[in-house]
Structure 1
Amino acid sequence: MIAKTPEELAKLADAERIKDAGNYLRGTLVESLQDPLTGALAEDDAQLSKYHGIYQQDDRDLRDERRRQKLEPRYQFMVRIRVPGGVCTPMQWLDVDRIANTWCNRTIRLTSRQTFQLHGVAKRNLKSTIAEINAALLDTIAACGDVNRNVMCHSNPYQSRLHAEVYEYARRISEHLLPRATAYHEIWLDKAELSGLPAQTKPGYEELLSSSRKDEEPIYGKYYLPRKFKIALAVPPSNDVDIFANDLGFIAIAEDNHLLGFNVTAGGGLSLTHGETSTYPRLADVIGYCLKNKALQVAEEIVKIQRDNGDRINRKHARFKYTLEDRGVEWLKFELNRRLGWNMEPARPFIFEHSGDRYGWVEGANDTWHRTLFIPNGRIADTDDHPMMTGLREIAKVHDGDFRITANQNLLIGQVSSERKPAIDALLEQYRFTDTGQTALRLNSMACVAFPTCGLAMAESERYFPSLLDKLDLIIKQAGLQRDPILIRMTGCPNGCARSVLAEIGFIGKAPGKYNLYLGGGFYGQRLNKLYRENINEEQIVAELTPILHRYGREREPGERFGDFVIRAGYVKEVSAGKDFHL
């Protein structure tokens, strides 16, 4: 129920009060941005800014020193760009590169939701950053907040003939579920910024800024959703987007490489809270099949079901997975069919075989080629050993296809013409892009950002994970497993950004230098893992994993994945449902 009186509102989560007072996401953001006395936004505005794709952060490495100096934290902002399906043009890549090196910390972060994150933006530079992102025909609308987030789409290159059609549905779903209120354009793209934008960005903006236009949110309403909402589209046999981790999923059903429709999944989500067994990850259920031209209607109605039924009192219980867990799958099917005015069909057969990326050159359709590059933990920067950012900039200058951010934080150089392939090959060699020599374990690794910028981090992740992998690589090679892919992921807190609870080997930060170790996730994203050891340090991690990896190398059955082996060998029990995660 949505509150309409002060008494009703007082019973809800504080986030609902902020939305109620926020005047369709405006709040006092304009005043906060103009306040020269602090590098921060007002508290409520910092929450509303998430709907505009912005997270207020501070440099946690400097907190103690600045506190001793009686200075406020070194506030900075993360800006997340909306990139449906992770696809952008070479020109957009160059624009993001320029913005990162002008207004940000000279790095680009590729995320596990196929977006760009830009870190280190000062408050005084936020408007310029957002305006230039829009000038690149991109935006940051709804990249964060209690709305549908960036819509994901499979990117594996050998399925390129089908990718274009499925990607188009990802793009259309993303556009259809965007908030409609005008606050974003008023705050970040006022007339001064509009005058400098390319002509193709202007149609409709003047109307959006017109004082005669009335705010409305036909899908979300004034209070938006109880919590964030995530959607992904997958194409079997690849589950590279981890479809079952999403609130809503569409599994492509094709015939002769032509899209017919989608199996629909609902109720996935990975976040939990340490020590609170009422919170747990949950894999989505397959609830039926719809024709492809019905996908937008299905997406809208499921979002509305969560809008109307999600928990607005307890935000830890507010995700769609709990709505579905509390009310049941059959309730959802009935309610969805009622709202649709027609019945979903039974799900069609499908098979997933893997969830990773395919590296190296792969031939696609229409005499084009695709090259997936391993980007350790998604961080693009120049170092003495690897001038990655410069190399990708030079590739973008000669590339005539597209770039695709993968759901595993890697980068696919897509639709490379045969004429341009030799030039890109030469640049890959010049700037030292190579996957050879890397273990399959490392090539299937992923970590979240964590310190120093994430305010939720309890332990290191991105900065620490490579050194742990160095030690695990030695064990992997001793066990003869260097060519055997094992999904290994790390997060600095239990909120699931790197999908660690789906990994065959998962780490979740508990405290500085301490992690919970989870084992037994499914290789193609079909199973949660299980807590194996709690609150252990690096020495203990290595000691625990060494005998297990060696035993796997000796005793595995033909084709047996590591996650399946540790269950068969009795190290952990199989998790069949989210409620079993803590048992």
Structure 2
Amino acid sequence: MSQEKLSPIEIIKEKSDGLRGTLKESLADNYTGTIRPDDEALIKFHGMYAQDDRDRREERAAKKLERLFSFMIRLRIPGGLISSSQWKAIHDISEEHGTGVLKITTRQTIQLHGLIKNELRTTIQEFLISKLDSIAACGDVNRNVICSAHPQVSPLFKEIHAYADKISTLLLPKTQAYYEIWIDGDKVYERSAEEDPLYKKTYLPRKFKVAIAIPPTNDIDVFANDLGLIAIVKDGVLKGFNLSIGGGMGATHGNADTYPRLGTIIGFLDSEEKIMKAAYEIVTIQRDFGNRSDRKLSRLKYTLDRMGVDNFIKELEKRTGFPLLPAEEFKFTERTDRFGWLENDKNEWFYTLFVEHGVIKPYQKSFLHEVALLNICDYRFTCNQNLILGSISKENKTRIEQLIQKYKVEEQDSNLRKNSMACVALPTCSLALAESQRYLPHLVTKIESILKKHNIENDAISIRMTGCPNGCARPYLAEIGLVGTALGQYNLRLGGDSLGERLNLPYKEHLNESEILLELDILLEQYVEENKEGDTFGDYIYKKFYTS
């Protein structure tokens, strides 16, 4: 592609000197709380976003003050597993340098908001002391590799889960800019040692996401990812993985060329060596064939649809040097997290705590901190934005149960609420058109009343909301999807299945709260009266409105 056709971000990456840009100079600019425009693109590769409080823009503009700038930092935690000491470090850092609020993301990690510029280096250094980093947690690279979260799903969980870290390490950028800028302040070693055969100078056209599913659970929404690995276990042995490619949730309002897409299963691989090689080469195909002129059309899903699945497979097999095998059979039977206490095959106990939309409430944070001080368990984040305390002995289970009682963390939440997800949206996300995380809990309360009215308050209907069409909370895979179009207005999408294997479809656009509630009231009443086959709500709606 010629230089003239490259998007502005491509030019910034190419001239960035290995993602360094002028970040050092930006950090030294004491006259502003933000960084230089080009550096806003580069800092994402270091796991951070430059943000401002949109709630206070008008107030500060009236006072002729610059916007209230801050930064969000997202950690790279492959598979979402950390130790008690690492949780304690995250807790302490959030209290000292952030707003105190911890957010579990839909990609199985933690992010902190409200960090001011002159404390970024100290924050990152303190994370590194606890062996935590934010390298490649954002940006046009492979991001946090996710994996089914609960060890109870398979006796081979540990073996399969280990692939998250292996793939994350394989696909890390080679540049030492992160350590140079945030840790040492000087060159770590000669630039020639940084040659990156995977990402080269311009990295990927857009972000890349990898997920590992362990049937029967699809808690990670494997088909929403650029690359999905589905573990195939037979007779107690991991035989390999099915490969799914081209999943992605993002779209743009009013642009028919953009769309959410489920991943396509292209085959099976039967060894770790082949899996790692295939993962690497799928990234190189996206690097070489992805759209670098229009970022709205640059994800792997568009590359795949433009090339065609058969041509993509041919290119992959040429690069790997081995053929894909026919896909193996598998079955998903669940997508939700397994709440409360459960025991695995090794007599270890796990406790799943419901964290609404990933925002850890103050009393939950106090509970989790006191548990961490005991140093008797690990911490596991789920892609449904919840948290698992794990690897607990029978003796230590009692100690944690006492703390559960002390902090009263076992709320009696409805199945609808436990099946709800929301992105951050306002006030910090620059892309948000509408509320999401702050609003969905209130909307769920009103929908709960409708469910109770129709005597289906125990139904586990999935509902997901985002403040824009980018799809961070995967609303296109919900039975009820709400996608923000403007303040107080949402597109209502219906008919997704309960297992993450079918996209929902547009139902009505630009609805306000009253209109949303009215539509759902009518549809839920029809569901109760007409559902003679025992379908889930999503299946009922799909059959009624979207099939002939």
Paired residues of 1:399 and 1:416 also in contact (CA < 8 A): no
The answer to whether the aligner puts 1:250 opposite 2:229 as a matched pair is: yes
Paired residues of 1:246 and 1:284 also in contact (CA < 8 A): yes
User: Secondary structure of the equivalent of 1:261?
Assistant: strand
Residue 101 of structure 1 corresponds to which residue in structure 2? 95
Paired residues of 1:109 and 1:379 also in contact (CA < 8 A): yes
1:212 shift after superposition = 6.6
Residue 380 of structure 2 corresponds to which residue in structure 1? 404
Paired residues of 1:460 and 1:512 also in contact (CA < 8 A): yes
CA distance in 2, matches of 1:42, 1:144: 18
Paired residues of 1:81 and 1:115 also in contact (CA < 8 A): yes
Residue 74 of structure 1 corresponds to which residue in structure 2? 68
Paired residues of 1:153 and 1:233 also in contact (CA < 8 A): yes
Q: Deviations over 1:361-401 (max 9, x none)?
A: 1111321111111100100131xxxx111011111222423
CA distance in 2, matches of 1:483, 1:216: 56
The answer to whether the aligner puts 1:537 opposite 2:512 as a matched pair is: yes
Residue 424 of structure 2 corresponds to which residue in structure 1? 449
Residue 132 of structure 1 corresponds to which residue in structure 2? 126
Residue 271 of structure 2 corresponds to which residue in structure 1? 292
Paired residues of 2:174 and 2:194 also in contact (CA < 8 A): yes
1:457 shift after superposition = 0.4
Letter of the structure 2 residue corresponding to residue 47 of structure 1? A
Paired residues of 2:85 and 2:375 also in contact (CA < 8 A): no
1:68 shift after superposition = 1.2
Counterpart among 366, 369, 372 of residue 393 in structure 1: 369
CA distance in 2, matches of 1:257, 1:496: 36
1:477 shift after superposition = 1.5
The answer to whether the aligner puts 1:176 opposite 2:170 as a matched pair is: yes
Residue 193 of structure 2 corresponds to which residue in structure 1? 214
CA distance in 2, matches of 1:492, 1:28: 32
Paired residues of 2:86 and 2:130 also in contact (CA < 8 A): yes
The answer to whether the aligner puts 1:418 opposite 2:394 as a matched pair is: yes
The answer to whether the aligner puts 1:91 opposite 2:85 as a matched pair is: yes
Paired residues of 1:106 and 1:381 also in contact (CA < 8 A): no
1:432 shift after superposition = 1.5
The answer to whether the aligner puts 1:340 opposite 2:320 as a matched pair is: yes
1:434 shift after superposition = 1.3
Q: How does 1:22-61 map to 2 (within 5 A)?
A: 22-61=16-55
CA distance in 1, matches of 2:191, 2:113: 36
Residue 479 of structure 2 corresponds to which residue in structure 1? 504
Paired residues of 1:253 and 1:263 also in contact (CA < 8 A): yes
Residue 522 of structure 1 corresponds to which residue in structure 2? 497
Letter of the structure 2 residue corresponding to residue 49 of structure 1? I
Letter of the structure 1 residue corresponding to residue 372 of structure 2? A
Q: Deviations over 1:256-299 (max 9, x none)?
A: 33312000000000100001111101100000000231211110
Q: Deviations over 1:440-497 (max 9, x none)?
A: 1111000000011000000000011111011001111122222221110000000110
CA distance in 2, matches of 1:118, 1:112: 14
CA distance in 2, matches of 1:226, 1:191: 29
Residue 356 of structure 2 corresponds to which residue in structure 1? 376
The answer to whether the aligner puts 1:117 opposite 2:92 as a matched pair is: no
Paired residues of 1:373 and 1:435 also in contact (CA < 8 A): no
Residue 346 of structure 2 corresponds to which residue in structure 1? 366
1:557 shift after superposition = 3.6
Letter of the structure 2 residue corresponding to residue 288 of structure 1? G
CA gap 1:536/1:33 in 2 versus in 1, 3 angstroms? same
User: Secondary structure of the equivalent of 2:243?
Assistant: strand
CA distance in 1, matches of 2:45, 2:184: 18
The answer to whether the aligner puts 1:63 opposite 2:57 as a matched pair is: yes
Paired residues of 1:157 and 1:362 also in contact (CA < 8 A): no
Residue 577 of structure 1 corresponds to which residue in structure 2? none
Further displaced range: 212-221 or 349-358: 212-221
Consecutive unaligned residues in structure 2, runs of 5 or more: none
Paired residues of 1:399 and 1:424 also in contact (CA < 8 A): no
Further displaced range: 372-381 or 211-220: 211-220
Q: Deviations over 1:551-570 (max 9, x none)?
A: 22333245411111002222
The answer to whether the aligner puts 1:238 opposite 2:213 as a matched pair is: no
Q: Deviations over 1:146-189 (max 9, x none)?
A: 00000000013421522211110111000110000111110011
Letter of the structure 2 residue corresponding to residue 487 of structure 1? S
Letter of the structure 1 residue corresponding to residue 403 of structure 2? L
Residue 466 of structure 1 corresponds to which residue in structure 2? 441
CA distance in 2, matches of 1:81, 1:93: 12
Residue 322 of structure 1 corresponds to which residue in structure 2? 302
CA distance in 2, matches of 1:541, 1:307: 41
CA gap 1:353/1:270 in 2 versus in 1, 3 angstroms? same
CA distance in 1, matches of 2:82, 2:144: 14
User: Secondary structure of the equivalent of 1:419?
Assistant: helix
Residue 432 of structure 1 corresponds to which residue in structure 2? 408
User: Secondary structure of the equivalent of 2:31?
Assistant: coil
Aligned Cα RMSD in Å? Answer: 1.4
Residue 5 of structure 1 corresponds to which residue in structure 2? none
1:535 shift after superposition = 0.5
CA gap 1:36/1:573 in 2 versus in 1, 3 angstroms? farther
Letter of the structure 2 residue corresponding to residue 560 of structure 1? D
User: Secondary structure of the equivalent of 1:533?
Assistant: strand
TM-score by length of structure 1 reads: 0.92
Q: How does 1:546-565 map to 2 (within 5 A)?
A: 546-565=521-540
Paired residues of 2:496 and 2:542 also in contact (CA < 8 A): no
The answer to whether the aligner puts 1:351 opposite 2:351 as a matched pair is: no
Aligned residues: 547
Q: Deviations over 1:30-72 (max 9, x none)?
A: 0000110000100001110000001000000000111111111
Paired residues of 2:433 and 2:486 also in contact (CA < 8 A): yes
Paired residues of 2:154 and 2:214 also in contact (CA < 8 A): no
1:435 shift after superposition = 4.3
CA distance in 1, matches of 2:528, 2:93: 47
1:216 shift after superposition = 1.2
User: Secondary structure of the equivalent of 1:569?
Assistant: helix
User: Secondary structure of the equivalent of 1:551?
Assistant: helix
